[in-house]
C-alpha cells in the first residue's frame, strides 16, 4: 500500500470518528455505539494505515486491497446510519411512553373514583375529549 493510500485511510478514519462523535453529541447515536465504533475504526486504521507508513508494507500485501477497503468503508457507513436511525426510533418511543404515563397520571388524579379502564380506552380517541 502506498504512503498516499495509508494517509487516505487514516484521514477517512479520522473523518468517520468525527462524524460518530457529532452523532453522539446530538443524541442521534448511543454513547455505547459510539465507543464501539471509535475503537473499531481506530484499530482498523492502525492495522491498515500504519504498517506502510512504518515500512512494513510487505507484511500486509493484498491483491484486492482497494475493493476490501471500499467495502469496509461502505459497511461502516451503513452500520452507523442504521444504528443512528435505531437510536432515533428508540428516543421517540421513550418520549411517547413518558408522555402517555404523564397523561394517565393526570387523568387518574382528576378522576380518582372511576372504575378501572376498559381495554378500549387504551386506544387514543380521534376527537376532542369529553
Q: What is the pLDDT of residues 32-90, one digit of tens each?
A: 888 888 988 888 887 777 766 666 655 556 555 766 777 788 788 888 888 888 899 99
Asked if residue 121 belongs to a domain, the reply is no
Closest CA to 15 of 39, 41, 35: 41
Asked if residue 102 belongs to a domain, the reply is yes
Structural domain count, the chain: 1
Q: And the C-alpha cell for 19?
A: 462524524
pLDDT band at 25 (very low <50, low <70, confident <90, very high): very high
Opening angle at CA 128, ends 124 and 130, nearest 5: 95
| CB-based contact 2:62 (threshold 8 Å) | no
Asked if residue 18 belongs to a domain, the reply is yes
pLDDT confidence of residue 11 = 92
Asked if residue 114 belongs to a domain, the reply is no
Asked if residue 15 belongs to a domain, the reply is yes
Asked if residue 119 belongs to a domain, the reply is no
Asked if residue 61 belongs to a domain, the reply is yes
Residue 128 has pLDDT above 80, yes or no: no
Asked if residue 128 belongs to a domain, the reply is no
**pTM for this model (two decimals):** 0.53
pLDDT confidence of residue 130 = 46
On the CB side of 98, CA atoms within 13 Å amount to 6
The mean pLDDT of the chain is 79
Q: Which helix (H) or strand (E) holds 7?
A: helix 3-25
The domain of 61 spans: 3-109
> In angstroms, rounded to a whole number, what is the distance separating the alpha carbons of residues 44 and 128?
57
Amino acid at each position: 500500500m502506498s504512503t498516499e493510500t495509508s494517509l487516505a485511510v487514516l484521514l477517512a478514519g479520522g473523518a468517520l470518528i468525527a462524524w460518530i462523535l457529532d452523532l453522539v453529541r446530538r443524541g442521534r447515536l448511543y454513547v455505547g455505539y459510539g465507543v464501539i465504533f471509535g475503537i473499531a475504526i481506530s484499530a482498523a486504521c492502525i492495522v491498515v494505515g500504519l504498517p506502510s507508513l512504518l515500512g512494513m508494507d510487505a507484511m500486509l500485501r493484498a491483491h484486492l486491497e482497494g475493493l476490501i477497503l471500499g467495502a469496509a468503508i461502505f459497511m461502516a457507513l451503513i452500520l452507523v446510519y442504521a444504528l443512528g436511525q435505531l437510536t432515533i426510533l428508540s428516543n421517540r418511543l421513550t418520549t411517547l411512553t413518558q408522555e402517555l404515563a404523564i397523561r394517565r397520571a393526570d387523568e387518574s388524579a382528576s378522576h380518582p373514583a372511576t372504575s378501572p379502564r376498559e381495554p378500549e380506552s387504551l386506544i387514543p380517541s380521534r376527537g376532542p375529549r369529553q
